[in-house]
Amino acid sequence: MSQVVATRTGTRKGAGPRPYKSRVGSLKSLLPLLPFLAFVGYFLVFPLVFIVRDAFLGNDGKFTLDNFVECFKGVYGHSFYVSIRLSMISALIGAVAGSLIAGAIVKTGSRTRKAIAATASVLANTGGVPLAFMFMAAFGTEGLVTKSLKALGWNLYAGSFTMFSATGIILVYCFFQIPLMVLIYSPALENVKPELREANDSLGGTRFSYFTRIAVPLLFPAFLSTSLLLFANSFSAYATARAMTAGTLPLMPLLIGNLVDGNVVANQEHLGHAMAVSMIGVSIIVMGIYLAVLRFSKVRS
């Protein structure tokens, strides 16, 4: 805060556009941002640079690519497939179900909508560990949901279903993916004004033409970008999976957690770092698509 006070004249000067400002002056306008930049530099950039550097170091402290070679092999390589597939499925389910729910709730009264939004934000934000245990209580062999479904004639556990399998994880991820979709997608949906519907009708359009010519083109960018956000969300989710499976399912975050906890062979620290960097890589690709979509469209979620 003191920085803003100290350079208030700088603040004043920069109020208008000054294309011919000298380079020094331009750097001066960066001064009030120093506390922020220092904070981010130390608490965000520094750890990230460090982990990227460590990913390229062998146990002897020399530069090597072995860690990355290793992390595409065996169970670690398999975890890429498991993690990405699971995230894609849960993002797809979340996106479709969430957009349907958002479509229904934009039509309800404002108080109902607020209540639903509040509930969604709790489920989407505070999820993690509590959700995992809630889910175990409900869908476990002794849980009320399992018993009720059995009474209705559907034995959940008749097939290969267990809570700790990929299916179980996808099911529990739905509990925060769908609310997140509702939260982010609703504002975009509210942009579709009723006037568009009226215009379509008065110009002789049908329900079908409204859907294909107006709703889909208008909403698809928001839908796609939010889906990618959901993907990233479940891809990096750790708390729920860890609390539920205790590391039995080969998901990338779980494997990394095991590696650094020393549950497996020692001296594999750098493998963990390489895995973590690979996760950032996958995430960057996905978010790159997200940003491209966002820039391409005018619909900002």
Partner 1 sequence: MKRKLNYVNYLVLLVASAFFIFPIIAAAEFSLRANGATTHNFSNFQWAIQQDGFKTNLGVSFRLAILTAVAVLVLMVPTIVYLHLGGARWKRLIEFICLVPLVVPVISFALGVATAFPVFLQSTVYELSFLYVIISMPYTYRALDVGLSSIPLLTLVEASRASGASMRQTLLFVIVPTIRSAVNGAIFLAVALSLGEFTLAVILHWDTFPTWIANISQGHILAAIALSVLSLVGAWLVVLVFAILPKSFRTNKTQEAAA
**165 to 184, contacts with partner 1 by CB under 8 A?**
174-175, 178
Cα 102 to Cα 7, 17, 32, 140, distances in angstroms: 46, 42, 41, 29
CB of 69 to partner 1, least distance (A): 19
Does residue 294 touch partner 1 according to CB under 8 A? Answer: no
Does residue 100 touch partner 1 according to CB under 8 A? Answer: yes
Q: What angle do CA 174, 219, 122 make, to 5 degrees?
A: 35
x/- binding map, residues 117-156, to partner 1, per CB under 8 A?
Answer: xxx-xxx-xxxxxxxxxxxxxxxx-xxxx--x--------
Candidate segments 38-46, 61-69, 199-207, 214-222, binder of partner 1 by CB under 8 A: 38-46
CB of 184 to partner 1, least distance (A): 11
Using alpha carbons, select from 146, 194, 195, 188 the residue that is nearest to residue 168: 146
Binds partner 1 (CB under 8 A): choice among 20, 23, 63, 109: 109
CB of 14 to partner 1, least distance (A): 3
Does residue 267 touch partner 1 according to CB under 8 A? Answer: no
Spatial distance between the Cα atoms of 133 and 137, rounded to a whole number of angstroms: 6
CB of 64 to partner 1, least distance (A): 17
CB of 40 to partner 1, least distance (A): 6
Candidate segments 8-16, 156-164, 205-213, 220-228, binder of partner 1 by CB under 8 A: 8-16
Does residue 247 touch partner 1 according to CB under 8 A? Answer: no
CB of 238 to partner 1, least distance (A): 4
Q: Are 88 and 169 within 8 A, CB to CB?
A: no
**Site for partner 1, residues 207 to 246, rule: CB under 8 A:** 232, 235-236, 238-239, 242-243
Using alpha carbons, select from 230, 106, 223 the residue that is nearest to residue 175: 230
Using alpha carbons, select from 72, 88, 89 the residue that is nearest to residue 80: 72
Spatial distance between the Cα atoms of 101 and 9, rounded to a whole number of angstroms: 51
User: Other CB atoms closer than 10 Å to residue 253's CB: what's the count?
Assistant: 20
Does residue 75 touch partner 1 according to CB under 8 A? Answer: no
How many residues are listed for the chain in this entry?
Answer: 301
Phi, psi of 57 (to 5 degrees): -105, 140
